[in-house]
Amino acid sequence: MVKVKDSRGSEQPQRSRTFLLLMAAMAVLMLALGQTVVLGQSSAGSIDGTVTDPVGAVVASAPVTLTNLATGEVRSATTNSVGHYTFPFLPPATYSVAISAPGFNRYIQTGIKLDVATSVAINAQLRLGSQSETVTITSEDAPLLESETSTLGYELTEKTLEDLPTNGRNVYGFATLVPGVVAPHAFTQVSTGMYDEQFVVISGSRDNQSLFLLDGGTNSNSAFYGPTLYPSLDSVQEYKVQVNNFSAEYSNAAGGVVNVVTKSGASKLHGSLYEFFRNNDLDANYFFNNRNSVALGAYHYNNFGMSVGGPLTIPHLVKGKDKLFYFLSYEGLQWVSPTIYYRSVPTDLQRNGDFSQTYAPDGTPVTIYDPATAYANPNMYNQIYRTAFSGNVIPRTRWDPVAEAVIKFYPEPNVTGDPITHLNNFYVQQSGDTTKNTGSLRLDYSISDTQKLFGRYSENVTVIQRPNPMLGSKAPAGASIGDDRLLQYQDVLNYVNAISPKSFLELNSSYNRYPLYRIPPGYNVSVIFWPPCFGVVQDSSSTCGCHAATEGLDG
Q: 548 in helix, strand or coil?
A: strand
- φ, ψ for residue 232, nearest 5 deg: -60, 140
- Residues 122-133 pLDDT 10s: 899 998 888 788
Interval 457-471 mean pLDDT: 83
Interval 399-412 mean pLDDT: 86
| Least confident among 202-211, 266-275, 348-357 | 202-211
Task: Name the CA dihedral angle for 158, 162, 166, 170, rounded to a multiple of 10 degrees.
Answer: 50
Label residues 402-436 b or e (16+ Cβ within 10 Å = b): eeebbbeebeebeeebeeebbebbbbbbbbeebeb
| Cβ atoms 426, 413 nearer than 8 A | yes
Q: 316 in helix, strand or coil?
A: coil
Q: What is the pLDDT of residue 14?
A: 42
- Residues 488-533 pLDDT 10s: 999 999 998 888 777 788 888 888 888 888 776 655 666 666 665 5
Name every residue whose Cβ is closer than 8 Å to that of residue 130 and which is 6 or more positions away in sequence: 105
Name every residue whose Cβ is closer than 8 Å to that of residue 280 and which is 6 or more positions away in sequence: 296, 297, 298, 299, 300, 338
Q: How far apart are the C-alpha atoms of 139 and 395, rounded to whole Å?
A: 87
User: Does 273 have pLDDT greater than 50?
Assistant: yes
Q: What is the mean pLDDT of the chain?
A: 79
- Residues 432-443 pLDDT 10s: 889 999 999 999
Q: What is the pLDDT of residue 232?
A: 92
Q: What is the pLDDT of residue 422?
A: 92
| Cβ atoms 202, 461 nearer than 8 A | no
Q: What is the pLDDT of residue 193?
A: 67
* Helix (H) or strand (E) run with residue 497 in it: strand 483-500
Q: What is the pLDDT of residue 40?
A: 47
Compare 226 and 449 and report the one with higher pLDDT: 226
User: Does 459 have pLDDT greater than 90?
Assistant: yes
Domains of the chain: 35-137 (2.60.40.10), 158-262 (2.170.130.10), 270-342+428-482+491-519 (no CATH), 345-424 (no CATH), 523-555 (no CATH)
User: Does 36 have pLDDT greater than 70?
Assistant: no
Q: Which residues on adjacent β-strands are paired with residue 186? A: none
- φ, ψ for residue 24, nearest 5 deg: -65, -40
Q: How far apart are the C-alpha atoms of 228 and 194, rounded to whole Å?
A: 10
Residue 235 binned pLDDT confidence (cut-offs 50, 70, 90) = very high
Question: How is residue 368 annotated by DSSP?
Answer: -
Q: How far apart are the C-alpha atoms of 249 and 23, rounded to whole Å?
A: 25
- Residues 106-117 pLDDT 10s: 999 998 888 887
Q: What is the pLDDT of residue 349?
A: 94
Kindly write down the DSSP assignment for every residue of 449-472, as one continuous string.
Answer: SSEEEEEEEEEEEEEE----TTTG
Q: What is the pLDDT of residue 198?
A: 78
User: Does 386 have pLDDT greater than 70?
Assistant: yes
Q: How far apart are the C-alpha atoms of 514 and 488, rounded to whole Å?
A: 5
Compare 545 and 332 and report the one with higher pLDDT: 332
Report the share of the chain in percent with pLDDT over 90: 23
Name every residue whose Cβ is closer than 8 Å to that of residue 272 and which is 6 or more positions away in sequence: 234, 306, 307, 308
Kindly write down the DSSP assignment for every residue of 47-94, as one continuous string.
Answer: EEEEEE-TTS-B--S-EEEEEETTT--EEEEE--TTSEEEEEEEPSEE
